[in-house]
Amino acid sequence: EEIKEQSSTNEPYNNEVAPEASSLDQFDPTRNFHYFLKGIGGGMMWAYWFNTAEPFSNELTDLILQAASLGGDSSAMLPETIAPYQEKIINTLVSILMEQFIMSPSVFIFWDIPLPALLRGAPARQIPSQIQNKLFPLMVANAKLWTFANMITYSIPIDYRVVFSSLFDIVWQSINASITSKEVPAESMGPPLPSPSLASKESSSASQTVAGSFATSMQNE
């Protein structure tokens, strides 16, 4: 009887261990590879953007300063304490606006939104609906995080921008995955999509995306 009692007291403990063992089964190599692939492509795009956008932002900065000088002393645009740095400040603001309204929407529309859906098996005809439902939330989330981060990113040399932005990318990819992995209402999608993984599982794979992005940045170095 004592042996039976001991075995019965061990049952709850055994039941508690079972979920831990089953959690190992939740690892999905295919899903993690998808996010690593997404990170590689994203890293290449942003490395190209930083190098390409710099000349344009410099030209726009010069045009702004020239336009301001036509009305008088251009140093009057900013307080005296920061007037000596006005060119750098304006250049940084121009770069942030260019990223927010040119590069970011392009990456979301042509990469961040369609790629995960296609890798999950979504038909191409459903991609426009995916973009329509997820682009605005991504833009809002992007502005909340990257506006501050880019104040530093665009103030440092180009060679270090991808590496530095990868630090914030750890947080961003979790936010990105939580939005892009959401199911879109069936009435706006037509035929239903294959069931995606839960957003929490997608967010756990964000590190793979960051790893791919960081690997690309190191290659560009």
Please report the pLDDT score of residue 24 as a whole number. 46
Instruction: Tell me the per-residue pLDDT of 107-146, one tens digit each, with 9 for 90 and over.
Output: 999 999 999 899 888 899 999 999 999 999 999 999 999 9
Please report the pLDDT score of residue 12 as a whole number. 45
3-state helix/strand/coil string of the chain:
CHHHHHHHHHHHHHHHHHHHHHHHHHCCHHHHHHHHHHHHHHHHHHHHHHHHHHHHHHHHHHHHHHHHHHCCCHHHHCCCCCHHHHHHHHHHHHHHHHHHHHHHHHHHHHHHCHHHHHHCCCCHHHHHHHHHHHHHHHHHHHHHHHHHHHHHHCCCCHHHHHHHHHHHHHHHHHHHHHHHCCCCCHHHHCCCCCCCCCHHHHHHCHHHHHHHHHHHHHHHC
How much is the pTM? Answer: 0.68
Interatomic CA distance for residues 40 and 34, integer angstroms: 10
* Contact indicator for 98, 56 with CB cutoff of 8 Å: yes
Please report the pLDDT score of residue 9 as a whole number. 47
Low-confidence ranges of the chain (pLDDT < 70): 1-27, 70-84, 185-221
Please report the pLDDT score of residue 152 as a whole number. 93
Please report the pLDDT score of residue 14 as a whole number. 46
18, HSE (Cβ side, Cα atoms, 13 Å): 7
Please report the pLDDT score of residue 144 as a whole number. 95
